[in-house]
Structure formats: C-alpha cells, structure tokens
Amino acid sequence: MNAGIKTLRIDGRDVGARGDQTILQVARENGIFIPSLCYLEGLSPVGACRLCLVEVKGAARLLPSCVTRVEEGMEVTTRSERLDRYRRMILELLFSERNHICSVCVSNGHCELQGLAEKLQLTHVHFPYRYPRLPVDASHPRFVADHNRCILCTRCVRVCDEIEGAHTWDVMGRGIEARIITDLNQPWGESESCTSCGKCVHVCPTGALSEKGRSVAEMAKRRQFLPYLTMMRTQR
Amino acid sequence: MSRLRLATVWLDGCSGCHMSFLDMDERLIELARGIELVYSPLVDAKEFPEQVDVTLVEGAVGTRDDEEKLRAIRARTRVLVALGDCAVTANVPAMRNPFGPQAAMARAYQENATRNPGAPTREIPVLQARVRPLHEVVPVDVFVPGCPPSADTIHYVLQELLAGRMPDLAGRSRFGA
Amino acid sequence: MTLDELERLAAEERAAQRKTACWLHVCTAASCLSAGAAEVKQALEQELAERGMLNFCKVKGVGCMGLCSAGPLVAAQPEGFLYGRVTPDDAPDITRSLVEGRPLRRLAVPGDLPFFRRQFKIVLENAGRVDPERLEDYVAAGGYASLLKVLNEMTPQDVIREVTASGLRGRGGAGYPTGLKWSTVAKSQDREKYVVCNADEGDPGAFMDRAVLESDPHRVLEGMAIAAYATGARHGYIYVRAEYPLAVARLRAAIRQAERAGLLGNRIAGTPFSFHVEVRLGAGAFVCGEETALMASIEGRRGTPRPRPPYPAESGLWGHSTLINNVETLANVPVILREGGEWYARIGTPNSKGTKVFALAGRVLHTGLIEVPMGISLREIIFEIGGGVPEGRRFKAVQTGGPSGGCIPEEYLDTPVDYESLSALGSMMGSGGLIVMDDSTCMVDLARFFLEFSKGESCGKCVPCRVGTAHLYDLLDRILRGESDGAALAMLEELSDLLRHTSLCGLGQSAPNPVLSTLRHFRHEYEAHLEGRCVAGACRTGERR
Amino acid sequence: MTAPHAAPPGTDKRWKIVEAAMRRHGYRRDALIEALHSVQETFGYLDDDSLRFVASALRLPLSAVYGVATFYHFFTLKPPGRHTCVVCTGTACHIKGAPELLALLEREYGLKPGETTPGGELSLLTARCVGSCGLAPVVVFDRELAGKLSAEDLRRWLERRLAHDAR
Amino acid sequence: MSERRIVIDPVTRIEGHARVTVYLDDSGQVRDARLHVTQFRAFEKLCEGRPFTEMPSLMARICGICPVSHLIASAKACDQILGTRIPPAAVQLRRVLNLAQLLQSHALNFFHLSGPDLLLGMDAEPARRNLFGMIESHPEMARDGIRLRQFGQQIIERLAGKRIHPAWVVPGGVSEPLAPEARDAILAGIPEARAIVQRALNWFKSAIERFREEAAAFANFPTLFLGLVGEDGELEHYDGHVRVVDAAGRIVADNLAPERYRDYIGEAVEPDSYLKSPYYKPEGYPDGIYRVGPLARLNIADRCGTRGSDQEWAEFRQLERGAVLSSFYYHYARLVEMLYALERIEQLLEDRQILSRHVRAHAAANHPEGIGVAEAPRGLLIHHYRVDEAGVVQWANLIIATGHNNLAMNRGILQAARRFVHADRLSEGALNRVEAVIRAFDPCLSCSTHAVGRMPLVIELRGPTGQLLDEVKRGA
C-alpha cells in the first residue's frame, strides 16, 4: 500500500494525509464531520449505510468515504444540497424500515441513529413506515437483542468476528427480510459460540443490542475499548 | 393588531403535549394577550371554527374519526403544526400496527373482560388498520418532534408564528426527546 | 493434444461424418427437451434402425436452433429442411421423406423466414449444428484451433491486441471494453490470477447464456483458456446457475473431455501453459451476477457486493487479480482469434461492434434465440425476425435489460441496438432479454413485477436498495390498488433518484429503471390507475376500490 | 488436506455422498455452497443437523453457514412435499399469465409460493426464470416441464399427476 | 312514537375524548344517558413482546397528565417480577413523585378545567368559560392555579429530570438519587403552594352554597367507594391495602390484597364505549357500582395523616353523615388532598434518608407475573403483566382510575340530565352541567383509553327509530 504523504482538498481546505488513509479518516482527523452508521474505527469498513457518500471531483458517482482511499490532488466535497438530501432520505429509510420508537427505547438519548437525525435536521420521515412484526431476543442472561431497533449495520457481526474471534453473529436472509442471527438462528442465550464478552452490545449504534436490566434511555454505549483492542491485535 | 387564532387538537395521543403546552406556566398569561384560543380541549367550542391561523395537533391518526377531523382541520387552518412524536412519527400508538386492530381489541375486550366479552361496536369510531402520523394523511407545515416537546420549544414555536415567521426546529427538539 | 494432433482429429471426424449421407439434427437444448425432443430423438433412431437405414442416415442431438416456440425442432441435413412441433409419431413420415428426398410439408418451417435470414451468427455458429456432448464434433467444426494457434504462435500481448482491435465489449450488460479489462489483469504483478466466467444468467426472460452453454460448451472453455493465456491466469471458475442442470452437466462433461484430450489442465498442447477450470454452482441469487457478489459466492460466502474500487482486476478472488467475463463475451473470443480483430470490428456500429444474442420472448409470433449484428433496429427484430405481435393485438412496448432495464414504446422502435442508444432511452442492452408487450399488458403492473423481483433479490447490505426497493414496490402496489394520489408518483421519482445515485451496486442503482422508463413513456397509465382505471384492462383496480 | 473430525449426524449411508463432495474440494471453506448443494440434492432440504455437520467439517462458524443457507433461494430449510410444482415467474411468463396460474394454485390447493399442502403432498415454489421463455407460461412438476399452460390446463394436468400418485 | 336524543360531542375541558348521548322519550323526558369513550389505544396489546424493563416508560405514555402514576404502578409490577425489595429511599422518592403529580393534576382540574364553571358560573358565556377567560376575569385565581400546577411539575422535574414522561422510575427503584440542592429547592417552594391551596379551600367552602343544586344532582347517589388505605387506615397513595366502604360509611371489605384484584373486581364491556366498566364482584354487574378517586379516598380513610389535612378532612366529612355522596364534592376532596400532598412531601423530604445514594435494587426477571398498584389522582391504578422466562411481556391487563368510575359517571350524567335537560328547554347551560358532572370526576380518558383518551360533547335529539331530530353542539 502506498503510504506516502498526499495532499488533497476537502471542502476547499488543503489537508495532508497518509496514502493508505480513507477520505473519512482524513476528514475526521481534520474535524470535518461526515455522517456514518456502519463505519466504526477499528472494524473493517463495508460501505453499506451510504451516509458517508461524498462528491469527488472527476468521479462519475458519489463515493463512500469510509472505503475510498485518498489520492494526490483529490478534491472532495462532503456537504452539498444533494448530499444533505440523500443523507436525510437514507436516515428516513432506516426509520421507516423497522420500529424505532425513540421515546421508549433503551438507547433514547444515546442512539447514533437518533443523534444523526437531529444533527442532519430530520424533522419527520416522509416515507411510509413499514411496521414489521419483529421479535425481541432476551434469552441471553446478560444481553438483549431487539430486532425492532436493528439497522443491519453489521458492526456486531464484524466486532465478533474480527476482534473477539467468536463469529457468533451473522446475517440471515436477504433484502428487506435480512436479520442478524446468532449461530443457527437460535436464541442468543443458547448460542454455543458466544463468549458473553459484550463487545457487540457496545458497538451497536442503536438500542438493538443492550445490556439486560437497562430501562428506557439507560443504555449508553462504551466504545473506547475498540481502537485499543484493534491496536493490540495488529501489533501482536 | 388582531390576535392569532390558535386551535389545539388532541387525536391519538396521551395529552402529554397539551400538558407541555400548559407547562409554559406564567408565559401563558403573557401569550393570552396575543392569542385567541378558538378551539381546544381547554375551551368549550364544540365545532372546529373557520379561518384558524395556527392549529397545534397532538397525537396520531388512529380512527376514521381522527382522519375526518384532521382533514377538516387542515381545510380550515393556515399553519398546521404536528406537535410531538405521535403526530410526527405515530410513536407509541403505532406500536399496535404490527398486531393490527383486531388482535388489539381482542386482548382488551375478549381476554381481559369478565362480562359481555366482545369488541364495542356502536357509537364509537372504527379503528383503522394502521395508526399513522399526520403527514401521511394531510400536508403538515411545521414538525415539532419530542415526547413531548418541551414547553420552551412550544413557546418558541408560538412566538415565531406570532411574529409571522416559520419556526426552525433545528437543534431544538428531536424524536423521543 | 498438439496442433497437429488436433488437425488430424478434426480431419478424421469430418471424414467419418461425410460417410453418412444424411443427418437428422434434433435440438436437445432445454426448451425443446421440455417440449419432448428426447422422445422424438429416440423415435427417429428406432425408426431408422427398424428400417435398416442407419448406414444412410444418422440422428444427432444438437444445440439450440433458435426458434424455440416451434420446438421440438428437427433439421434434415444436408438439405436443410426444418421441421417444427415434431412428435414421436412423426418419425415414420420424416424417414419416409428422407428416402423420397422431398421435404415433409406438414411439419415444415419455412427456411427462408426472416427469423433465419436476418440473423448473423458468430456466437451461435455451432448451435444447432454440433453435438454439444462430443468434443470431436466441436473439433471437427474448427474448435480449439484458435486456442492452439494462440498458444503456439502468439504472445499474450498479441492476443490482447487482437481482442482490443475487435472492439468487443462485455456482453453481460455494462459494455466495458473487453481488451482493456484483459490488459489490466495482464499487467497485474500478482502471481496468482483467476479467470471467471459469469454464467449466472439471472435476468428473468433471458436465456442466451443457457443456450450457449447447452449448445456449445467447449467454445466457452476455449474462450476462457485463451483469456487465461492472455492474462497469465492458471485457474478458472465457471459460475453457473444451479437452475440450469443441463448446462451444468454438459459443461462438466466438456471439461472432462477437454482435460482428457490435453486441451485443459497441465501443459496444454505441450506448451508450458496450464489452465484448470472448475464449475461452481450458484444457488438462486440474481445479485451474484454482480462481479464482487459473484466472487463472494465462489468463495462460499453470502453473495453480497462490496464497493469498488478495488476492482477485481486489482483485488478479486481471495484478494488476487481476477478477470471476469460473461459467457457470450468469452464465446466470441475463439472467432475473433480465428478471423482477426479487424474482421470482427467491421460488424456492427462504430461503438458497438460485432453481434448480440437476444432472447426474444413475450407477445411476439416467433420467440426464441437470435443473434443479430449490432445496429439493427428494434423494429426489425420485433416485426421482421419476430414476426410481429400475434392475435391481432397492438404492439405496446419492448422491455430490454431485464430488471435493470426499461420499456421502450413504439415511437422509438427505429433506434439502433447499441449500448449507448438504449441507455439514452432509459433502458439498457443488458444481457439480452427482449420481451415484447402488447396492449393487454399494464405497464404499472409490469413495473411492480420488476420491483417485486428487485426487492426479492436485493442482498440487503446497503440501505437505499434494501429499504428503497421495498418502498418502491409498496408504492406501486398501492397505486395498482387505487389507494394513492399524485404524491405517490413524486415519491416514486424521488426514491428512484436516491437508489440510482446512492446504492452500493448495480442492482440497486438500476432497480428503479423499470419504474422510471414506464413513468417516462407511459405516465398516463399511472395517472389512470390513480383514478382507479387500468388502461390495459388488465388490473381489477376499479372493483377493489 | 486436513481430514475432518466431524462425524455425520446419523448412520444414513447417504452422508457418504455429502462427505465425498466436501472431500473433493479438500474440505476448503469455499466449498460451503457446493456442500450445501450436495446435502439438499441428497436429502431434499437442509436441517440444523446437516448445517452443523457441514460447519464443523469445513471449520466454519455456525452463523456463517446459516447465513449462506438462507441467502440463496435455491436452498430450503423445510422438507419439501412429495411433489413440487414450480411456477416460473419470469417476465415472459408473467405477461403470458403466470399470475393466473398462481391464483389457481391458491384457489384449488390453498398454496402460496413456498408452502406445502398440510398432508405434505404438494409444494408450490416459484422460479425467477427457468429459461424456457419461448414456452411461456411454464410450470415444472417434479422434473417435468410443461409450457403454454392456461389455468384450466394446469388444473387438469396437476389432477392427473396427483391422481396417478394416489393409485 | 319517537325517540329523541341529545349528543354532546366532544365533552370539553376534560382529559380525554368522549361523547354523551341523552335519550328522550315521547314526552321529552330524559329516558337514558350514555357516556361513550371514543378512543382506544391498545396498550394491553402493544406491550406484548417488549422487555419488561421498558414497561414503566412505555406505560407512562398512556397518559400525559398522570404519567407518574403509571410509571409507579408499572414499576411496582416490575419490582414483583424482579422479586426484590427496593431500597427505602427509592420508596420515599417514588412517594414524593406521586404526590407531586397528584398536586399538579388536581391543580389542573380544579383551576384550569373546572375553575371556569366554578368561578364564572355554569351558565357563563361558553367562549369565555375557560382558562383564558379566567385569566382576564380572575387573574389572581388563574395565576394561583398556574403557579400551583407549575410547582407540582417542578418537583417532578427536579426529581426525575423531566416534567412529562421522565424515565427516572425504573424496576427496582429509581435511576438517580436526590441531590440535596433539589431537595432544598422543593422545600423552599412549599409555603407559597400551601398558601394557594389554603386560599382555594377557603374560597370553595365559602362558595358551596351557590352550587347547592349541582351538589344535589351531580352523581349524588349511594355507591360503594374503593381505594387504598395505609396500615392504620390513613390516606395512602403508594402502598397499603384495598378497602371498600358503603354509602353509609361502613367498611364492607378491608385488607384486600391489591394483587388479588381479580377476586373482587370484574370488567364488563358495553358495546357503545371503548371504556370498560369495572364492578365490585361480590355485588355483581351492574350492581357492584363503586367510585374511586379523591372523594372515595377521603370516604374510606380514617384520617389523612398530616396535621393541616386532618383538620380539613374532618370538616369535609361533616358535609354528610356516612360517606359524602355527591360527586360535586370531588372538587372539595381534591383541595383537601392537595393540602395533604404538600404536607406529606415536606415530611418525606425532611427525612435524611431521602438523600440516600442507594436507590436501586438490581435483579433479573425472577417471577413470571407482576401486579402493581398506585393511587393515581383519579383513583386506583392496576397494572398486571405476565412475562416469559427471559422477561419479555406476553400479556397485560390494565385497570385505570377513570374506568372504575365509568358506571358512576354514566349514572351521574343520567341524574344530571333528568334534572337539567328537557326537550322543551334545551339550554346551553343545562348541557354544560351534564358535562360538568363528568368534569367533577376528572376523568382522564387518556388513561382510560390505554384502552381508552379523549372526551370531546354533541347533544342529538333522536326519535325512537333513531332518526335525528335535533342536534345541539355547545359553543358552536
């Protein structure tokens, strides 16, 4: 990987970067906000939520900044009327997909989806809500999985596979029917591979995964451990 | 200067937004100077009047009556404000949607009844298949999320409307606040 | 097998075939088989045997002859008489006519139909002529000569130059220049490289690749081997739908035959070049036609696409440089190397060269498989080759490009078939499905049909496609049920725009095309549905209201 | 090539076929889909035991195997009926009447796609396109394909086949 | 023969959605009257499949007026599911919170909703007969009401962080301890609040004479009274046991365990209302009519338990021998309870234990079932949940304060209608009195429409075949 120093422009600002960095990393280092939900420092990026799309001069399409590497002389725009509109619509799609009842959610006030809606000034969801009937899996002695609040970002799947090494989580089905599962789609509490480490809970951006016993608005997530664990792994 | 003709309406909600309206406390006294409350659960008007400047609607649309009422309100209102999460997102009332009205009624009037079990059928509005936010039924001009929006937020909204400006809710309230 | 040995085998086989004065070619591709071709073949063999005519005439199972709607098809060679809708009971009459040397009128399909005359066969040149289950037959028809010529006489650069000169573009739909793709992989310093043949033909209404694989599997293997030589790969995969059992069986047999003949495997034809091919079965996922999803599936994972770059040429199967071409693209390659890139480039239009195979289906008289030069008009395809719309109904539209494509109305039928012109109409070349619709088809219903498809085939990874296709479907469904107002159309357009620009892969990006193209060309049908009417009279909107 | 430690879930000899398929691919993880194909071809569907067996033989996480098995429409986790009827819902079949065929099957047999009759006699499936568009609309009963069917044709055709079975 | 009927729709200045139909016979005499609660919100169903830890905050959304009572009844049901005893400080804090809500809710009813009837008169001009009219005509009284309600809400905010729908009450206790500064701030506000309540009490007692007719006809009949009392028979809003008292003031049943509510409370469905009609089982349906709420609580208790309120209680009970039967005196009872609430809050806050940091017990779901009760401003509240082994709610039953009063309200409007409504003299003021009966009960239809929400009144005159003869929509 080319790791030489590169210079690029983000929103008209000249910034320097290592060649192996992504646009998102460089933007965040420079205090430029780009929204994202599936990206989490320390996990492999998947480019799935599409919130971090940016305009790159000369590129025919919008590019996901979480996986797009910087290039010398690149000109990146992270905010535009079009990007704002698309991002709001993507958030709306997420809100309309399942049952996100913020007011009674265990993560109310600590939720990244809710937080982004506020930050991106989303005042309502104009797509019709779908209201699927989805289960809550509370079979685990310490944790709860609420599929109503899941946005399929797969952070849990990745942290479990890449950091914990258990690969308890994966995704089943496809399309609008896709769902996260543990082992053979069995109750989490019966999972043979789960180590009960709780990393999935703390990387989950919403109230989908939470600690048991938490009441409404009580589930604040702790993520500080992740970059540390990633560093430990890569240096090993 | 003529006073702002204000109405407040309560559809499928808990009245918490109306309580938050009252939580403006003594600011109500000062607001009373600029506002004429022409229709509200707080006053005795039985018919929604014509030519209302601003209507604050709390609650979601859950019955055909709600829908008819909302359409009439829209037709007679200049600025329609969706007040609170139920009006904006359908919120908790919408939690019945995955079950459907029949199952919901069965729980209350069959399972949990010791006399005359059976869903009520007369004199009551028919439940719709889905509880919906206002904007799925009529155009909405201002969205004020929150469960409920704070009294400060409501005060801000009214002051802006009194001043003839459209309120900008950015950063003032959020879903579930 | 060396070049000499190959030429010897070809000569022997041709001589043997010449000993038989008369051949009955029975189509044994899937469509005719399902119409009873196997029984017909058996009846003919039995009849010939009973009459003691086997020295005079032999029966040969061949690949697709194209006119699937008239199957089972039997052709009498060398006269070229073609019989359609043949049953086992027809065997005595057919044999009698052979003896008499006169065509059997009762079953004859006119050989001079525009359906046959207007075609130009490169990819399908062997289809309906060679026995797909015999290597010798393919060799006798000149098969593997290009591969051995390439191995013996050309450098990889020479090959790429020739392919580049041909102007061949990817036939999977997107139309990326094949020569450029090959040279990118060839340039990679990766020591492990792969060639993948994409045979995951998932468009509903498309069966070109299936026909090629069932009719002429060796041609695809030969194309792959040439590609591998040109790019420096030593392993190849053919990713083929499990729904095509016949194609899979013939491919597997062909690989075994070619390996036994030394035309695949280690040190091919005595040269240092080695190339191994494995068949991998798809399992019913349209999205696996997308190259990064396809690779994930070959690796045994969920077939979800990933963002590109990196492109497969840079990081493909197991992170190695990988060339991915579709069946039809690879099937062109042996001919290009045989006839030269320049020859090929003379066919078609300046930007879309060569021929294109189409599966013609729907409300059209002659349905089946055709190969035409690029640049031919849609009108010629539908009204001349296809014979127009039957049953006295009116043509309404032709759908190209499957779920990623669009519907083209009558006023654009003179558009030449090439990549750019179809895109300009809001449709696309796609892999080659052409479905004709008459005035009994409701275009809103058709859009919903495609969105049901896209919704069901969305992998679910990226948000716009996963949720957006579901919303588009629901909106269309509600419009069809007469439960929507004009705002629904605006929302359709808004969502379509979002999916197109923000989806991760081609599936999501093109999923709105059927909606947008029908909105563009048939908006009045949507508006009628908003009022509870169906222009085509196909939907019961009014009643349900 | 590492020999697997996993034992098949039962003594059924047919597991040998599945093991052979995995062995042919050197028990490589990327042979998962091939292995699942072989299970389904042998037993008709994939159940938890077989998924568990394949997972341990290929040293794959259970959830990854389940994720793959449910991603691909070709695989089924439910045992199929004694007969299967596949209605092609490709574009050509759609515009030539596949919806009427499905309506008939729901009317006559109470079946929606993916369902099996209560007695396990007949399963209804749909296919995106079986590639026989020239014969649209097309139905595949067990392995036999029939084309250009009206709803009435289909009703008689199925009656004949199921009656044959009853005899 | 013609039947005529009057529909009051919506019933206004109540906390909910409802309609009243008054049926008249040929001679124009009132034959029957029915209250239709027109909202249904499905809480008993929509909680299904949710973790029980979510219940308190979810169930609080039944009602924005008395969310705290739901929080508490729900949390108590959840405490039972945990199977744990919650820390004493948490109990005391929940008590303060519940009383603060009682204060703000009673203030709302007395000043904001019923105040206009009481101050401006039942026959006042409808357009002015509301809070804003009161602000103009009786600014001091209006300000008093606003300040008193505000004080109640501020206590809730100081304790729980948010005035409406706080999430602070949780299974096992409360989520945060009380800060000393918050305690001090609340204590500092009590004198002003007490002065307001005292002024209102004095005014009401002086005005009783003027409402003699209303007192006589506002659901003034014998019924049972039901509610919680403390260990020593004192007024109790958080714990205690259920007592039933008859019209003569005699104890009919005592020491009933709230958890066994199904033994003595039945729920009947009437086809014309979303509000069910609970009844006292031993008396059957519909004879088992009973009343709950402030009037009932003062009727069943032996005393209040704080100094000032005990005096006022004794004076209140002098109104009638036995139990006080007129529902008009719900207003009076509310004033006495507000005084009690202020005095009790003061007591609780002055106990040092209230500042304990230990306010929450943690446990997993240990019991499959939980029943929680509390006295809401409007009466007894019962939350009953069943959960699976993992703590996911499978079933719920809720009996809401206003529901208990349904039979009495129906009979009450009939009584008032017979007294005030005649076909030949349909007056606006007469209709307002029908509504005012309902207002006296302070029905919280938001609550009752958990299963039940909103009470907007139309009066229709209908013939015996149901044809519409006349329709009066008050205030139109």
pLDDT of residue E24: 80
Question: Is D5 among the domain residues?
Answer: no
Q: Please give the pLDDT value at position C539.
A: 81
Whether residue E71 is predicted with pLDDT greater than 60 in this model: the reply is yes
Say whether residue A81 is in contact with chain C using an 8 A CB cutoff.
Answer: no
Determine, yes or no, domain membership for E258.
yes
Flag if A138 and E51 touch (Cβ within 8 Å).
yes
Question: Do E296 and E252 contact (CB within 8 A), yes or no?
Answer: no
Average pLDDT over residues C289-310: 96
User: At CA B95, angle to CA B92 and CA B101, rounded to 5?
Assistant: 120
CA–CA gap between residue B130 and residue B151 (Å, rounded): 29
What's the pLDDT score for residue C461?
98
Same-domain pairing of D103 and D131: yes
Query: Which pLDDT score is estimated for A159?
Result: 96
Question: What's the mean per-residue pLDDT of chain E?
Answer: 88
SS3 B137: coil
A130 contacts C459? CB cut-off 8 A: no
Q: Look at D127 and C243 and tell me if their CB atoms are within 8 Å.
A: yes
C305: which 2 tokens? 């696409």
Residues A72 and A99 in one domain: no
Residue E165 lies in a domain: yes
Among D100, D148, D98, D162, smallest CA distance to D126 is for D98
Examine residue D2 and state whether it is found in any structural domain, yes or no: no
The domain in which residue A102 lies consists of 86-219
Q: What is the pLDDT of residue E436?
A: 81
Q: Look at residue A190 and tell me if it is in a domain.
A: yes
Letter for the amino acid at D57? A
Query: Do A94 and A65 lie in a common domain?
Result: no
Chain D environment of A168 (Cβ under 8 Å): 61, 63
Residues A210 and A94 in one domain: yes
Residue E415: CB partners within 8 Å, gap ≥ 6? E217, E218, E219, E220, E221, E437
Q: Do A74 and A110 share a domain, yes or no?
A: no
Domains, chain C, ordered by start: 15-110 (3.40.30.10), 142-345 (3.40.50.11540), 355-438 (3.10.20.600), 443-530 (1.20.1440.230)
The dihedrals phi and psi of E65, each to the nearest 5 degrees, come to -90, -45
- Of these ranges, A195-204, C91-100, E427-436, the one predicted with the greatest mean pLDDT is A195-204
Q: What is residue C225's predicted lDDT score, i.e. its pLDDT?
A: 98
Whether C432 and C206 have beta carbons less than 8 Å apart is answered as yes
Which of A17, A50, A79 is the C-terminal boundary of a domain?
A79
Q: Which of C308, C454, C467, C499 to mutate to test the interface with A (most CBs of A within 10 A)?
A: C467
- Tell me the nearest-neighbour CA distance from D67 into chain C, angstroms: 7
Q: Which of C152-156, C239-243, E432-436 has the highest average model confidence (pLDDT)?
A: C152-156
User: Could you tell me which residue, E7 or C290, shows the higher pLDDT?
Assistant: C290
Q: How confident is the model at residue C71 (pLDDT cuts 50, 70, 90)?
A: confident
Indicate the number of domains in chain B. 1
Evaluate whether residue D127 is within a structural domain: yes
Residues B44 and E432 sit within 8 Å (Cβ to Cβ): yes
Do D105 and D56 have their domain in common?
Answer: no
Q: What value of ipTM does the predicted structure carry?
A: 0.93
> What gap in Å lies between CA E26 and CA E422, rounded to an integer?
11
Q: Does D52 share its domain with D103? A: no
Total domains in the fold of chain D: 2
Contact residues, chain D, for A170 at CB < 8 Å: 61, 63-64, 66-67
Neighbours of E213 (CB within 10 A): 13
Q: In this structure, is residue B169 part of a structural domain? A: no
Least CB–CB distance from A102: residue in B133, B136, B175:
B175
Q: Is residue D53 part of a domain?
A: yes
With respect to residue B127, please indicate whether it lies within any of the assigned structural domains.
yes
D114 and D94 in a common domain: yes
**Domain shared by A155 and A211, yes or no:** yes
Is B87 contained in some domain? yes
D147/D117 same-domain check: yes
Based on the fold, state whether residues A157 and A90 are members of the same structural domain: yes
| Domain CATH number, residue D60 | 1.10.10
Which two three-digit tokens encode residue E14? 């109540």
Q: How confident is the model at residue A94 (pLDDT cuts 50, 70, 90)?
A: very high
Give per-residue pLDDT as tens, C428-440.
Answer: 888 888 999 999 9
Chains E and D are in contact, defined as 3 or more C-beta pairs closer than 8 angstroms: no
Question: CB E276 to CB B43 under 8 A?
Answer: no
Q: Chain B: give the shortest CA distance to residue A209, in Å.
A: 18
- Distance, CA of E157 to CA of E335 (rounded, Å): 23
**pLDDT > 70 in chain C, percent:** 99
The model's pLDDT over C218-273, given as tens digits with 9 standing for 90+, comes to 999 999 999 999 999 999 999 999 888 899 999 999 999 999 999 999 999 999 99
Q: What is the pLDDT of residue E205?
A: 95
Residue whose tokens read 């499990």: C242
Mean pLDDT of A100-105: 97
Surface of A (142-181) touching E: CB under 8 A: 144, 146
Place of tokens 């030969």: C222
Residue A152, in any domain of the structure: yes
Chains in contact with A, counting 3 or more C-beta pairs less than 8 Å apart as contact: B, C, D, E
A128 touches chain E (CB under 8 A): no
Residues from chain E that touch B19, judged by Cβ atoms under 8 A, are 64-65, 108, 163-164
Identify the pLDDT of residue E114: 86
Closest chain C residue to the Cα of D128, Cα to Cα = C204
Same domain, D47 and D92: no
Task: Please report all neighbours of B, defined by 3+ CB atom pairs within 8 A.
Answer: A, E
| CATH number of the CATH domain containing A63 | 3.10.20.740
Split into its structural domains, chain A has a count of 2
Residue E91 lies in a domain: yes
Asked if residue A140 and residue A209 are part of one domain, the reply reads yes
Point out the residue among B23, B41, B115 whose CB comes nearest to the CB of E266. B115
Q: Is the pLDDT of residue A76 over 50?
A: yes
> Which of the two residues, C103 and C132, has the higher pLDDT score?
C132
Higher-confidence residue of B90 and E28: namely B90
- With beta carbons under 8 A apart, name residues in chain D contacting C39: none
- Quick: pLDDT tens for D107-140: 999 999 989 998 889 999 998 887 778 788 999 8
Mean pLDDT of C508-522: 95
DSSP label at C289?
A: G
pLDDT class of B72 with cuts at 50, 70, 90: very high
Separation of alpha carbons C198 and C195, rounded Å: 10
* A102 lies in the same domain as A154: yes
Q: Band of the pLDDT at D166, cuts 50, 70, 90?
A: low
* A47 contact C CB<8A: yes
CB C231 within 8 A of CB C195: yes
Is A26 in the same domain as A64? yes
On chain C, the residues whose CB falls within 8 A of the CB of A128 are 471, 474
Q: Are residues D113 and D157 in the same domain?
A: yes
Residue E444 has pLDDT above 90, yes or no: no
Strand extents, DSSP E, chain A: 5-10, 13-18, 53-56, 63-64, 75-77, 136-137, 143-146, 169-172, 179-182, 209-211
Does D3 fall in a domain?
no
Token pair of C156, please? 């990889």
**Cα gap E400→A124, rounded to integer Å:** 32
Looking at chain A from residue 85 to 104, which residues have their Cβ under 8 Å from any Cβ of chain E? 103-104
Candidates E53, E61, E390; nearest CB to A215: E53
**pLDDT over 90 at B42, yes or no:** no
Confidence of residue D42 (pLDDT cuts 50, 70, 90): very high
Q: Give the domain range for residue E257.
A: 40-409
Print the domain residue range for B127: 4-162
Subunit contact B16:E17, Cβ cutoff 8 A: no
User: Mean pLDDT throughout D7-12?
Assistant: 86
Is residue B121 situated within a structural domain?
yes
Report helix, strand and coil shares of chain E as percent, to nearest 5: 50, 20, 30
Look at residue B170 and tell me if it is in a domain: no
CATH code (residue A149): 3.30.70.20
Together in a domain, A40 and A139: no
Average pLDDT over residues E70-81: 97
More confident residue, C117 or A74: A74
Cis peptide before A141 (omega within 30 of 0): no
Q: Domain tally for chain E?
A: 1
Whether cis (ω within 30° of 0) applies to the bond prior to B101 is no
Tell me if A225 is assigned to some domain.
no
Same domain? For D59 and D107 the reply is no
Residue D71: pLDDT above 90? yes
Would residue A131 count as lying in a domain?
A: yes
Contact between C463 and A48 using a beta-carbon 8 Å cutoff: yes
Please check whether residue A229 lies inside any domain of the structure: no
State the average pLDDT over residues D27-47: 95
Helix (H) or strand (E) holding C337: helix C327-339
The top-scoring range by mean pLDDT among C389-403, C524-538, E255-269 is E255-269
Q: Quick one: pLDDT band at residue E283, thresholds 50, 70, 90? A: very high
- What average pLDDT does range E252-269 have in this prediction? 96
Q: Quote the mean pLDDT of chain C.
A: 93
Partner E contacted by A58 (CB < 8 A): no
What CATH number should be reported for the domain holding residue B15? 3.40.50.700
Sign, Cα dihedral of E171, E172, E175, E180: positive
Containing structural domain, residue D42: 15-71
